[in-house]
Amino acid sequence: MGTRIDGKAVAASIKQQVAEEVSRLKTQGIQPGMAVVLVGDDPASRIYVNNKKKACVQTGIYSEEYVLPAETTQDELLALIAKLNADPKIHGILVQSPLPKHLDEKLVVEHIDPNKDVDAFHAYNVGKIMIGNFSFLPCTPAGIIELIRSTGVTIEGKNCVVVGRSNIVGKPMAMLLLHNNGTVTICHSRTQGLAEICRRADILVAAVGRPKFITADMVKPGAVVIDVGMDRDENGKLCGDVDFDAVEPIASYITPVPGGVGPMTIAMLMKNAVSAAKIQNGIAL
């Protein structure tokens, strides 16, 4: 039976480290600050924003929230970002996605100051991740690396398979595993022989967005299985991309849904906000 990786416990430890770092920065007259922008009234986005605000309170990070109506224009949103870019109290800017369809998400990200891009979505930061000279890491992939480390399993030399090639998780996840000397295969909807490739994985990361897509016959005995999915099964119950009940007995370590990857994303966002405050105050990371 695989050991469940407790994302809540690992996230709590990271947030405690962040809180201690914030306290040290305050003694130097630096108060890390973050702005969260929410456009429209998507219920899931509202929950995410509330969780981020709560984490700011827990870690001592100053936060501002901007809730804009769904009909906000592109120019209005870009004007707000320009204002936040120029605000010395704000070190990190996060625009909650998804945005309403009439807004260009890529253009919005491009207008955020790269030094305030705590999501690490700006092309400048993506390029720095590619060459391994990064200031910020995308929160979910960075959190997954911490979860793997918490098991004591080393990534170096391992066969790592990432199922999913999104810009937010799949691609940066592959790069971080590569930076940790893993041997990485990226799979996607057009991959041939997917099950066979997954069965070779010592570390398997499922980020495909399909309920219980990874089944027991796709998992190597003793593999570390990381489930990034947040789905609903046929009964409407929350589940991930991995068939947890079937895979748990096979894996050495496995993340549950909920309580696995999710808490780590917000913890790493807090860590990025502190890094942003350091960068903008000339303090080495």
Q: What is the pLDDT along the chain (285 residues), one digit of tens a residue?
A: 899 999 999 999 999 999 999 999 999 999 999 999 999 988 889 999 999 999 999 999 999 999 999 999 999 999 999 999 999 999 999 999 999 999 999 999 999 999 999 999 999 999 999 999 999 999 999 999 999 999 999 999 999 999 999 999 999 999 999 999 999 999 998 999 999 999 999 999 999 999 999 999 999 999 999 999 998 888 888 999 999 999 999 999 999 999 999 999 999 999 999 999 999 999 988
Tell me whether residue 43 is in a domain: yes
Structural domain includes residue 62? yes
215 located within any domain? yes
Q: What is d(CA 260, CA 5) in angstroms, rounded to the nearest whole number?
A: 7
Does residue 47 lie within any of the structural domains? yes
d(CA 221, CA 249): 9
Check whether residue 108 and residue 160 sit in a common domain.
no
Same domain, 229 and 151: yes
Q: Which residues are catalytic?
A: 52, 96, 119
145 and 198 co-located in one domain: yes
User: Which of 113, 131, 149 marks a domain boundary?
Assistant: 113
For residues 89 and 143, membership in a common domain is answered with no
Specify the CATH number for the domain of residue 250. 3.40.50.720
The total number of structural domains that make up the chain: 2
122 assigned to some structural domain:
no
Residue 214 β-bridge partners: 242
The per-residue pLDDT for 235 is 85
Q: What confidence score (pLDDT) does residue 234 get?
A: 85
On whether residue 81 sits in a domain, the answer given is: yes
pLDDT at position 44 is 86
Same domain for 167 and 70: no
Give domain status of residue 225, yes or no.
yes
How far apart, in Å, do the first and last CA atoms of the chain sit? Answer: 40
Same domain, 161 and 79: no
Instruction: Tokens for 147, please give them.
Output: 């979860």
Q: Is the dihedral of CA 48, 167, 195, 150 positive or negative?
A: negative
Which residues are registered as beta bridge partners of 163? Answer: 187, 206
CATH of the domain at 54: 3.40.50.10860
Q: What is the pLDDT of residue 203?
A: 98
One domain, residues 89 and 162: no
92 with 161, same domain: the answer is no
Same domain, 161 and 212: yes
Q: Please give the residue range of the domain that contains residue 189.
A: 139-262
Residues 157 and 245 in one domain: yes
- Domain co-membership, 107 together with 153: no
Q: Confirm whether 16 is domain-assigned.
A: no
186, 109: one domain: no
Q: Which of 230, 182, 176 is nearest to 203 (CA)?
A: 182
